[in-house]
Amino acid sequence: MPAERIINGVVFMVFRLKLFSMDLKTGMPYWLIKNGLPGHYPKLNEDLKTEVVIIGGGISGALAAYHLSKRGVSCVVLDRRTIGLGSTCASTSLVQYELDRTLYELSSLFGEHKAAQVYVEAVEAVHKLDDICEELKFKNKERCPSLYFADKKSNVTLLQKEYAMRKKAGIDVSLLEDSEIRNRFGFSAPGAIESATGLSIDVYMLCHALCNASLKQGAKVYDRTEVIKTEGKNKFKIYTDTGFTVSCNYLVNAGGYEAGKNLKGIVKLCSTYAIASEHFEDPSQLWPNRAMLWNTAKPYLYLRQTPDNRVIIGGRDELFYQAERRDDLIKRKSKLLEADFYKIFPDLNFKSEFSWAGTFGVTKDSLPYIGSLKGNPRVYYSLGYGGNGILFSLTSAEIISDAITGKKNNSAELYSFYR
């Protein structure tokens, strides 16, 4: 049974969304409580024929539908939940070009040239996502810098190497010393890299904005409709729990961990935790430039501000074992995250109002898996695992849309299953 909590006189239901035998998230995600259910989509109520079926209506599926329908490709989105109520509404919605692995670390895996290409394309993806928001007249976003700071003095040398590689790749960055960090951001750290390119966004609302735009472009979106079986190889028939079917020529799996459940060995599941503070009445109390902050700790801690002057803190990740264990840790992890905040800003009065936990996946090289598998060229996967899930979703939408429409994409090999 769901639990009830009362906040500001309003009763909120604390619920779990099931993912096979695993819960995807639990607690009270800030974006869901703030926005509620902004869009309403029907269950599938008829048999359909279309060019592409997209399974998953989170940000990955929404971006895929937007790109395909914009090119005039007919597509149908099917989601077993209400749109956006998977990982999307639990995201802390920081859009940074930085990966879970630094450029320096990635270079040791792929070589400097290829690693730099990944980072430069990620910078471009931030700008592309901002452009899409402008096209949609989507206002729940703001451009902001990102500050990657050393959590201890011994990590300054690594920052310096990272800065040099990013600078060489042509990325707009600055290397800051402690005095500059204190003067400009109001806290102390041994060193930091400031990046000019970043977006702070409400990805849950963006998901709905993309779905609505796709509907206007001719796509169809159905939620509370679970795919129970697929048949075919060059042409597909999709069977749903509503009793209706969809016939299509291409299939896009954009359901995150559900989409990759049968692909062994590509992802490791972790639990992550987040808290959101009460509203700060005086925004001047918070650090300037509304910069996204994250550090060199393993796992890293990250902070952002919201438009209503709250602070969201995330981190304290650990390997996922079972949903019950993850959920039992929310209270303890929330206190630890508060303590982490006070280590950085000891004079700010942080009071946690919302807390939640989620499950996310990491890959060996921190890159997504995008594309098709040998033997199934018309079945595509959009698996944007890791801390850059939003940007990876955009990259996936571009690569898959290009593949379906017969356009060459020079980035496809970087993220393929056979890289």
Contacts of residue 145, defined as CB under 8 A and 6 or more positions apart, other chains included, come to: 194, 195, 196, 197, 198, 289, 291, 292
Give residue-wise pLDDT tens across range 373-399: 999 999 999 999 888 899 999 999 999
Question: Is the pLDDT confidence value at 261 over 60?
Answer: yes
Residues 156 and 305 placed together within one structural domain of the fold: no
Asked if residue 75 has pLDDT above 90, the reply is yes
Residue 361 has a pLDDT of 84
- Whether residue 126 is found in the same domain as residue 236: no
Q: How far is CA 137 from CA 56, 133, 189, 210, 304, in A?
A: 24, 6, 38, 11, 23
Same-domain check for residues 188 and 112: yes
One-letter amino acid of 70: K
Share above pLDDT 70 across residues of the chain, in percent, rounded to a whole number: 92
Residue-wise pLDDT tens digits, 272-329: 999 999 999 999 999 998 999 999 999 899 999 999 999 999 999 998 877 788 888 9
Tell whether 172 and 302 lie within a shared domain: no
- Does 176 share its domain with 325? no
What is the average pLDDT score of the chain? 91
Domain-embedded: residue 96: no
Based on the fold, state whether residues 373 and 282 are members of the same structural domain: no
pLDDT higher than threshold 50 for residue 76: yes
Confidence of residue 27 (pLDDT cuts 50, 70, 90): low
Long-range CB contacts (< 8 A, 24+ apart) of 108-112? 109/365, 110/365, 112/165
119 occurs within a structural domain: yes
Asked if residue 193 and residue 139 are part of one domain, the reply reads yes
Q: Please tell me the predicted confidence (pLDDT) of residue 6.
A: 31
HEC assignment per residue over 368-403: CEEEEECCEEEEEEEECCCCCHHHHHHHHHHHHHHH
What one-character-per-residue DSSP string does 293-308 give? Answer: EEESSSSPPEEEE-TT
> How many other CB atoms are there within 10 angstroms of residue 364's CB atom?
11
Containing structural domain, residue 191:
102-201
Q: What confidence tier does 132 reach under pLDDT thresholds 50, 70, 90?
A: very high
Does 354 share its domain with 291?
yes
Collect all residues with Cβ–Cβ distance below 8 Å to 70 and sequence separation of at least 6. Answer: 217
Q: For residues 166 and 211, state if they share a domain.
A: no
Residues 352, 296, single domain; the answer is: yes
Question: Given pLDDT bands bounded at 50, 70 and 90, which one contains residue 1?
Answer: very low
Structural domain count of the chain: 3
Is 65's pLDDT higher than 80?
A: yes
Q: What is the model's pLDDT at position 26?
A: 58
Q: Euclidean distance between the first and final Cα of the chain, in Å?
A: 45
- From 168, 201, 234, the end of a domain falls on 201
Which of the pair, 42 or 364, is modelled with greater confidence? 42
Residue 413 has pLDDT above 90, yes or no: yes
pLDDT at 16 over 60: no
pLDDT band at 268 (very low <50, low <70, confident <90, very high): confident
End position of a domain, from candidates 201, 225, 240? 201
If you compute the radius of gyration of the chain from its CA atoms, what whole number of angstroms results?
21
Question: What's the CATH code of the domain at 45?
Answer: 3.50.50.60
Is-contact 239 228, C-beta < 8 A? yes
Mean pLDDT computed over 61-79:
98
Q: Examine residue 382 and state whether it is found in any structural domain, yes or no.
A: yes
pLDDT at 270: 86
Same domain, 252 and 373: yes
Q: What is the pLDDT of residues 191-229, one digit of tens each?
A: 999 999 999 999 999 999 999 999 999 999 999 999 999
Asked if residue 97 belongs to a domain, the reply is no
Residue 333, domain member (yes or no): yes
Confidence of residue 260 (pLDDT cuts 50, 70, 90): low
Q: What is the CATH number of the domain that holds 17?
A: 3.30.9
Place 8 in a pLDDT band, splitting at 50, 70 and 90: very low
pLDDT of residue 264: 78
Boundary (domain end) residue, out of 318, 338, 362: 362
221 assigned to some structural domain: yes
Residue 228 amino acid letter: I
pLDDT mean over 109-131 = 97
The pLDDT score that the predictor gives to residue 21 is 34
Shared domain for 109 and 146, answered yes or no, is yes
- Answer yes or no: is 175 within a domain: yes
